[in-house]
Amino acid sequence: MEKQLPFTGILSDKAEENPDFFNWNRVKLRYCDGASFSGDGADKAAQLEFRGQKIWLAAMEELMSKGMRNANQALLSGCSAGGLASILHCDEFRALFPGSTKVKCLSDAGLFLDATDVSGGHTLRNFYNGVVGLQGVKSTLPRTCTNHLDPTSCFFPENLISSIKTPLFILNAAYDVWQIQESLATPAADPQGHWHECRKNHMKCSASQIQFLQGFRNRMLNVVKDFAKSPQNGLFINSCFAHCHSERQDTWFADNSPVIRNKAVATAVGDWYFNRAAVKAIDCPYPCDKSCHHLVSK
């Protein structure tokens, strides 16, 4: 928990860094509950309390009392676990405000897929199953999902995004490096170490490994297909090996930012939020995009 965090990208207060939102009230909500602000359970024997949902509600209550209730427009955004939180809490956030307030949600790098890993297993589903069970997440998940699917499935955005009523923008790298490293090609799923180099640096992937990752991208595009049909929703899926674009200045809005059809992430999100243009931007597959800021792990 750093004492100070730089407000960059979508959080910047400089017009040249954040053209559409620089003069907004910007709040960063600290996250440490481990279930995207959705846990509501306890393991009394182990003296563990999981209170993500109550933390979320307490934070919202405080912000509303500080003046957020008077907002003309609001945007709930987050990156990674926060991107999942902005999906899980989107309609809930909308309900805090009067109908006349313009409210939308942005999920950055939150599109965690229920994907098959390199061994044919389901690493992320198994992990999520543990989180959902341990933290008692079921009671806080959207009923529109839990009334027909198991709670773990309802922690995956692919089973939530089509039933969210509030306008939502999905911003994600098609080759999400967190998912490559923590879901698809974990050391446990790759005991022989065939993916050891590729999982950390896409330049070291073999043709067949790139082919596997193209399958992951195809899966992602399939997941957003129906979601993208709704005119109120927005989409920006670039073909980068990255994770989180909105809070980093170099990937949000800079001279050499990643673009799709010459449009930077900040411009795409602004066009969508203010209804200047419909934004359904899907990049051609790797390696066609030369504007990417690829992440390579040491």
Among all residues, which ones are annotated catalytic? 80, 176, 243
Pairing of strands 234-242, 168-176: parallel
Question: How many whole angstroms separate alpha carbon 123 and alpha carbon 145?
Answer: 22
Helix H, strand E, coil C: the string for 166-182 is: CCEEEEEEEEEHHHHHH
Residue 182: C-alpha distances to residues 34, 123, 186, 198, 255 (Å): 15, 8, 5, 13, 31
Question: How many whole angstroms separate alpha carbon 242 and alpha carbon 232?
Answer: 26
205 closest CA partner among 221, 187, 185: 185
Q: Contact at 8 Å (CB) between 28 and 45? A: no
Alpha carbon 220 to its chain centroid, in Å, reads: 13
